[in-house]
Amino acid sequence: MEKELYTTEDGVELTLVPVRPVLIQAASLQVEDEFRDRDEPIDPPVYRFKDVSGEFMTAAHSVDEATGRNTLETEDKRETARNWDAWNRHQDALVRMAQATEERRIKVMYMLGIECVIPDEGWENQLRVAGIDVPDDPLERKFTYLWFIACSMYDKSILRQVMQVLNYTKMVGAEQRKTFREAVQSSMEARAREIVETALQRVGKVGKLVPDDEARRDEGSEGVEVDAEPVG
């Protein structure tokens, strides 16, 4: 089994190991099952119509964003409103399921794909103060440590992409993985610099208001005179 070493921004050393894609896929399917068990509207709403023979048929509603055509609009305004309400709830469920699926996939990769030494003390108290429970299960405990303590937002972004490639070790060579990792890090650093530069420019624009105004007064430029006489 091939392994890769990764050091977080805070200097925590992690060993990355491949996770079988079938396990990650199983976790994704489990999320879908959970949504179905809760009767979440992840399937598109349906409508009835008559076919050429006059028999009623059932089909799923659809919305073509490119053309604007959809099956939700009818001559009955109340039915149209109900259709749109069902469609919006369906779309919301899909968004929430996609988010839950991604979170579950990442959790499986952290639990099975990262080896690390967990400190004996200190970090648990930090989480308890923040109101975060520390699980007793070893894998859940490791994930909690990695997610809240060991890994920064930058680390999480890098690990998410690097580990996905590592999981396909047999199809992607070590040199290719190294190149990919360097490209990801370079992209993240470029994005971070862009964010910082934008923030500095905004601060600079605000910060210049007072100095420029003071400079004009010092140069003796004319300003708006204040009428010292009382009004009225």
Same-domain pairing of 112 and 179: no
Which amino acid appears at position 136 of this protein? Answer: D
Same-domain pairing of 44 and 110: yes
Sign of the Cα torsion 178, 180, 184, 187 reads positive
Same-domain pairing of 45 and 128: yes
User: What percent of the chain is predicted at pLDDT more than 90?
Assistant: 51
pLDDT at 167: 73
> Is the per-residue pLDDT at 109 higher than 90?
yes
pLDDT at 210: 47
Confidence category of residue 189, pLDDT binned at 50, 70, 90: low
Which amino acid appears at position 23 of this protein? Answer: L
What distance in Å separates the CA atoms of residue 7 and residue 5, rounded to the nearest whole number? 7
- What is the total count of domains within the chain? 2
pLDDT in tens, 30-52: 999 999 999 999 999 998 887 77
Taking residues 208-212, what's their average pLDDT?
A: 49
128 within a domain of the structure (yes/no): yes
Residue 166, judged by CB atoms within 10 A of its CB (0-12, 13-18, 19+), counts as buried
What distance in Å separates the CA atoms of residue 179 and residue 2, rounded to the nearest whole number? 16
pLDDT at 116: 95
**Size of the chain, expressed as the number of residues it contains:** 232
pLDDT at 230: 45
Same-domain pairing of 166 and 76: yes
Same-domain pairing of 23 and 64: yes
> Is the per-residue pLDDT at 212 higher than 70?
no
pLDDT at 184: 56
41 within a domain of the structure (yes/no): yes
Same-domain pairing of 181 and 92: no
Same-domain pairing of 144 and 203: no
Q: Which residues contact 112 (CB under 8 A, 6 or more apart)?
A: 17, 19, 23, 139
Same-domain pairing of 71 and 168: yes
220: alpha, beta or left, given left = phi > 0 and alpha = psi -120 to 50? left
> Is the per-residue pLDDT at 145 higher than 80?
yes
Count CB-CB contacts under 10 A for residue 47: 17
Domain containing 184: what range?
173-221
122 within a domain of the structure (yes/no): yes
Joined together, the tokens standing for residue 208 give 């210049």
216 within a domain of the structure (yes/no): yes
Taking residues 111-135, what's their average pLDDT?
A: 93
pLDDT at 225: 45
Same-domain pairing of 159 and 177: no
User: Is the distance from CB of 43 to CB of 51 less than 8 angstroms?
Assistant: no
pLDDT at 188: 57
Which amino acid appears at position 193 of this protein? Answer: R
Count CB-CB contacts under 10 A for residue 113: 22
Scan for tokens 């992409």, then name that residue. Answer: 161
**Against a cut of 0.85, is the pTM above it?**
no
Same-domain pairing of 102 and 190: no
Which amino acid appears at position 128 of this protein? Answer: R
pLDDT at 231: 45
Closest to 26 in 3D by CA, of 131, 117, 137, 109: 109
pLDDT in tens, 147-174: 999 999 989 988 988 888 887 655 555 5
76 within a domain of the structure (yes/no): yes
Closest to 162 in 3D by CA, of 137, 144, 187: 187
pLDDT at 224: 44
230 within a domain of the structure (yes/no): no
Taking residues 119-144, what's their average pLDDT?
A: 93
Same-domain pairing of 198 and 186: yes
228 within a domain of the structure (yes/no): no
203 within a domain of the structure (yes/no): yes
> Is the per-residue pLDDT at 185 higher than 70?
no
Same-domain pairing of 138 and 193: no
